[in-house]
Amino acid sequence: MSATCNVVVLLSGTGSNLQALIDSTRTGDSPVRIRAVISNRADAYGLQRARDAGIDTRVLDHKAFEGREAFDAALIEQIDAFNPQLVVLAGFMRILSAGFVRHYQGRLFNIHPSLLPKYKGLHTHQRALEAGDTEHGCSVHFVTEELDGGPLVVQAVIPVELHDTPQSLAQRVHAREHQIYPMAVRWFAEGRLTLDDRGASLDGQLLAASGHLIRH
Ligand code: GRF
């Protein structure tokens, strides 16, 4: 697919994954076009990164809405104004309603700092250390109605070192996030990645339950 793939990114914080996506589109041959960055927090540093890159930004404060459904409906309206083929969650700290997820079925990505299905939710690095895991990592997945569930696209696996702390692990996992997220987004933009009833496929081949695995 040579056409441009419009992407809208949702975030609530620092936006280092957004930065990795922005950097990956600067190669000249990238089919990915980040059309807008939307945050539920006006002070998210990710918005500044977007502005610096000349990308449209919007702020939609969830506190101004009565309930999740109303916020999500307004969010859909804002997102769809940019006509995205793909919506990317990059540290968006909101649980999304079933209606929102269904609206973007097959074109909504999330990144999570663990080897899913392990450690859904928060404090993933701490939990991996406490469990004595020898490997840890991060996952990109299609979003379904199950929190941090949904078919896996790609996982990066790193070894847990003897002296690792939650902070040191977080740092190394983050570095891998910055590699696999742009990779997955590009696959999608090139039309290589699809989702159907059987799961996620890359180049027409059904992916394993773990998604495409990248080690070390
Ligand atoms: C990442 O750790 C990601 O896995 C999680 O939220 C964090 C966002 O980090 N979903 P950043 O804002 O992209 O730096």
- Report the separation in Å between the CA atom of 91 and the middle of ligand 1, taken as the mean of its atom positions: 4
Q: Is 198 annotated as a binding residue?
A: no
Is the pTM higher than 0.95? The answer reads: yes
CA separation for the pair 212, 182 (Å, rounded) = 14
The helix/strand count (H/E) of the chain reads as: 6, 11
Q: Which of 103, 112, 141, 212 is catalytic?
A: 112
The yes-or-no answer to whether 1-104 and 111-216 have a common fold is yes
Q: Is 110 annotated as a binding residue?
A: yes
Per-residue pLDDT of the chain (216 residues), as tens digits, is 458 999 999 999 999 999 999 999 998 899 999 999 999 999 999 999 999 999 999 999 999 999 999 999 999 999 999 999 999 999 999 999 999 999 999 999 999 999 999 999 999 999 999 999 999 999 999 999 887 889 999 999 999 999 999 999 999 999 999 999 999 999 999 999 999 989 999 999 999 999 999 996
Predicted confidence at residue 28, as pLDDT, reads 83
The CA-to-CA distance between both ends of the chain, in Å, stands at 30
Among residues 50, 77, 56, the alpha carbon closest in space to that of 65 is found at 77
Residue 103 CB neighbours (<10 A): 18
Residue 138: burial class (beta carbons within 10 Å; 0-12, 13-18, 19+): buried
Domain boundaries, the chain: 1-104, 111-216
CA distances from 78 to 13, 47, 71, 84 (A): 19, 15, 11, 11
Q: Is 96 annotated as a binding residue?
A: yes
Determine if ligand 1 sits within 6 Å of the CB of residue 13.
yes
| 178 in catalytic set | no
Predicted confidence at residue 1, as pLDDT, reads 45
Is 111-216 a CATH 2.60.120.200 domain?
no
DSSP label of 63? G
Predicted confidence at residue 2, as pLDDT, reads 54
| pLDDT, tens digit, 9 for 90 and up, residues 167-202 | 999 999 999 999 999 999 999 999 999 999 899 999
- Report the separation in Å between the CA atom of 109 and the middle of ligand 1, taken as the mean of its atom positions: 13
Which ligand 1 atom sits closest to the C-alpha of 14? 12
Predicted confidence at residue 66, as pLDDT, reads 94
Which ligand 1 atom sits closest to the C-alpha of 177? 4
Looking at 3.40.50.170, 1.20.140.10, 3.90.1200.10, 3.40.718.10, the CATH number of the domain 1-104 comes to 3.40.50.170
CB 25 within 8 A of CB 9: no
Q: Using N-to-C axis directions, what is the helix angle for 16-24 and 166-189, rounded to 10°? A: 40
Which ligand 1 atom sits closest to the C-alpha of 18? 13
In 3-state terms, what secondary structure has residue 33?
Answer: strand
